[in-house]
A = this chain, B = another copy of it.
Amino acid sequence: MDRRKLLTAAGLGLGAAALAGCKEEAAPAAGAADQAPPVQRFRWKMVTSWPENFPGLGTTAQHFADTVARLSNGRLSIQVFAAGALVPALEVFDAVSSGTAEMGHSAAYYWKGKSATAPFFTAVPFGLNAQEMNAWLYEGGGLALWQKAYESLGVLPLPCGNTGVQMAGWFNKEINSLDDLQGLKIRMPGFGGEVLSRAGATTVNLPGSEIFTSLQTGVIDATDWVSPYNDLAFGLYQAAKYYYYPGWQEPCAVLELTINQQKLAELPADLQDIVKVAARATNQAMLDEYTKRNAEALDTLVNEHGVQLRRLPDAVLERLRDISLDVLEETAAANPLNREVWDSMQAFRGKVNAWHAISESAMYALRD
């Protein structure tokens, strides 16, 4: 066997695989060319909705890919693509469904047009926090329902990262009563935006890249984004006076790993398990990172940049909660699966609320 030719061919194979996302067999060890069982290697592509190495989101996608590479000893390598590099940010789901990419990293609430059930799996206003969402997904039947929602689309979803509780957003007008919401021009997507519209605000949707300028020039009066870690990096404190809490619209936000079902089924069983367990470990890793970095960034925002924290008034929060329940009930009524998901979540919530009232919540209350 001509060793030079073999290496050259392998080199070309790698290049082609990176573009096409195919599986290949490693060159057999020298001296065992005919007998050694070939090691199957897979090169996959992961498309994401995040800019290149975007802190917390893009880096979490890369953390997952690195974990899989290490656990599989390189048998499954995943190349991570930033938004726009292979497909636009909001075409991640389609790319995975069609097999253009084997995997995606994004958030379920972007796919409302594909599955009316999807938004429940990212965040629900006044709903479950990260600890509760993880428990509902893995122990309370939530993950099975999520997978059922995408089954006919050929996609398997897994939770793969969580921001924890977000902030209510950056405002250039104070919110002292419900009146202050009337006509307020605010950027907010998802369930939260719908709720604010019904409360009288003028909700607009802007991509992340336009938020800063729109806020600074007064095109909008307020915006949500994420929480201190991402908001500090975005410089939003330079464009707004007040930083409002709590993030009623997203008590947590689940990041979503999507996997093409057929491609997954082609992997050996151990690699399938590596993907699933790496996703679960990454899910925790992102929350750990956000907990640490949000705490530090809040300290920087308040103590170095003089950001003024404001709590939304109780009357405003109560009204937003009532409207949220209306919106969620209407969403639940849209089809039988939505009904099943919302009922499951509500039943879980009732019991976990009672437990956390005397445990997590009671301990937090002791700190004040």
CB within 8 Å of B: which residues of A?
A: 29, 31-32, 35-37, 67, 70-73, 126, 129-132, 134-140, 164-167, 227-228, 245-248, 251, 268-270, 273-274, 277-278, 280-281, 283-285, 287-289, 291-296, 298-299, 309, 311, 317, 321, 348, 351-368
| Cβ contacts under 8 Å, A357 to chain B | 364, 367-368
Q: How far is the CA of A136 from the CA of B129 in the complex (A)?
A: 19
| Cβ contacts under 8 Å, A361 to chain B | 361, 364-365, 367-368
Q: How far is the CA of A281 from the CA of B356 in the complex (A)?
A: 23
Query: Chain B nearest CB: distance from A359 CB in Å?
Result: 4
| Cβ contacts under 8 Å, A138 to chain B | 285, 288
**Of B73, B131, B367, the contact of A130 (CB 8 Å cutoff):** B131
| Cβ contacts under 8 Å, A247 to chain B | 359, 363
| Cβ contacts under 8 Å, A245 to chain B | 358-359, 362
Q: How far is the CA of A46 from the CA of B62 in the complex (A)?
A: 32
Q: Is B131's CB under 8 angstroms from A246's CB?
A: no
Query: Chain B nearest CB: distance from A44 CB in Å?
Result: 17
| Cβ contacts under 8 Å, A35 to chain B | 31-32, 35-36
| Cβ contacts under 8 Å, A132 to chain B | 291
Q: How far is the CA of A197 from the CA of B251 in the complex (A)?
A: 40
| Cβ contacts under 8 Å, A317 to chain B | 366
Q: Is A364's CB under 8 angstroms from B358's CB?
A: no
